[in-house]
Amino acid sequence: MQASARFKQSLLAVTLGTLATGTAVAQTPAPAAPPPPDNVVTANVGIFSEYIFRGISQTGGKPAVQGGFDWAHSSGFYAGTWASNVSWLEDFGLYSRSSVEWDFYGGYKANFGDTDFFWDVGTIYYYYPGSRNPGVVNADTWEVYGALGWKWISVKGSWAVSDNYFGIQPNGQKTDGTVYIDLTGTFPIGETGFSLVGHVGYLDVSKDGSGNAEASYTDWKAGVAYVVPEGVLKGVEFGAYYSGNNATSAFYTDLTGYDTSKDRGVVYVKKTF
Q: What is the pLDDT of residue 33?
A: 64
Q: Which of 167, 176, 177 is nearest to 132 (CA)?
A: 167
State the pTM of this model. Answer: 0.86
Q: What is the pLDDT of residue 32?
A: 65
- Tell me how far apart the alpha carbons of residues 72 and 109 are, in angstroms, rounded to a whole number: 10
Name the residue type at position 154.
S
pLDDT at 34: 73
Report how many helices (DSSP H) and strands (DSSP E) the chain contains, helices first.
Answer: 3, 16
Going residue by residue through the chain (273 aa), what tens digit of pLDDT does each one get?
444 444 334 433 434 344 344 444 445 565 666 777 889 999 999 999 999 999 999 999 999 999 999 999 999 999 999 999 999 999 999 999 899 999 999 999 999 999 999 999 999 999 999 999 999 999 999 999 999 999 999 999 999 999 999 999 999 999 999 999 999 999 999 989 999 999 999 999 999 999 999 999 999 999 999 999 998 999 999 999 999 999 999 999 999 999 999 999 999 999 999
Q: Where are the domains of the chain?
A: 39-272
In 3D, which of 112, 88, 95, 103 has the Cα closest to residue 145?
Answer: 103
Report the DSSP pairing between strands 153-160 and 56-57. Answer: unpaired
CA 140, CA 129: separation in Å to the nearest integer? 9
Max Cα-Cα span within the chain? 115
CATH number of 39-272: 2.40.160.40
Task: Name 242's Cβ contacts closer than 8 Å, sequence gap at least 6.
Answer: 221, 222, 223, 263, 264, 265, 266
